Structure 1
């Protein structure tokens, strides 16, 4: 009986301390960290990039042609390669892939409409516009800035 009470007491104490644990994630602080990492990365690699009002950095390698309005309901067909800032490739399309733009990370939703069919863009995406403070896989740590090169093959 005493042993049971001690175990229940221990669970209550552990539960109380876990409930008091505060999330230390600070989005504003992380945005400043990401921006510093991106500015340093761009300088070290001599990348001519533009900072979008959202905080995304991009480099239009080829604008493409046409005047298609690309928005969240557009299906985009792309070839892409995603890297961490240390150069590690975490994803690469083996063949053209089609996605509804609205289902993709915010960085893509902002960046892809900056080009047209046949265009190529490099997106350097702050963590908040990618996966934030979560890790979607073992190859992408939480709070990762992502570096994508995307070829827009089509948009419908």
Structure 2
């Protein structure tokens, strides 16, 4: 009986330690990302709009052509980087084409703020990008910043 009780205590301790590790992996980055974005904006003397979802965007040039919807196929030239300035991805000047319903939520929401020929910056918190988990070299919880130019709505 004594051994059974000791085993149960050890099992309970093991489960509680295991579940605390799970909680660390499921950090809520919303408030943390929002502060990091507002600090980045202040440090770089930028003024951005914030959507209800938490996406920040800066329209440098609104464009004059067609405005895409969230399901449009578009061609966009972009540079993606972190708040540290480290670039993690970049297209050619010719851009790449894709459906806005096939990309991260921050792009699906953000690109339709521009018309063809428009450009600006999307500051995307983790919950509108890859969430809490690492994705192809992008650490979980990362804020993604994109300089974007909407070349065309296809």
- Unaligned stretches of 5+ residues in structure 2: 1-10
Q: For 2:53 and 2:100, locate their aligned partners in 1 and report how far apart those are by CA, in whole Å.
A: 17
What TM-score does the superposition give when structure 2 sets the normalisation length? 0.82
Q: For 1:57 and 1:134, locate their aligned partners in 2 and report how far apart those are by CA, in whole Å.
A: 21
Q: CA deviation at 1:84?
A: 0.6
Task: Please give the secondary structure, in 2, of the residue aligned with 1:79.
Answer: strand
Q: For 1:73 and 1:58, locate their aligned partners in 2 and report how far apart those are by CA, in whole Å.
A: 19
Q: How many residues align?
A: 138
Alignment match, 2:4: none
Q: 1:108-141: per-residue Cα shift (whole Å, max 9, x none)?
A: 1111000100000200011110111111122x21
Whether 1:37 aligns to 2:16 is no
Alignment match, 2:88: 90
Q: CA deviation at 1:89?
A: 0.2
Moved over 4 A (4+): none
Alignment match, 2:78: 80
Alignment match, 1:47: 46
Alignment match, 2:114: 115
Q: For 1:90 and 1:49, locate their aligned partners in 2 and report how far apart those are by CA, in whole Å.
A: 22
Q: For 2:65 and 2:70, locate their aligned partners in 1 and report how far apart those are by CA, in whole Å.
A: 18
Task: Please give the secondary structure, in 1, of the residue aligned with 2:85.
Answer: coil
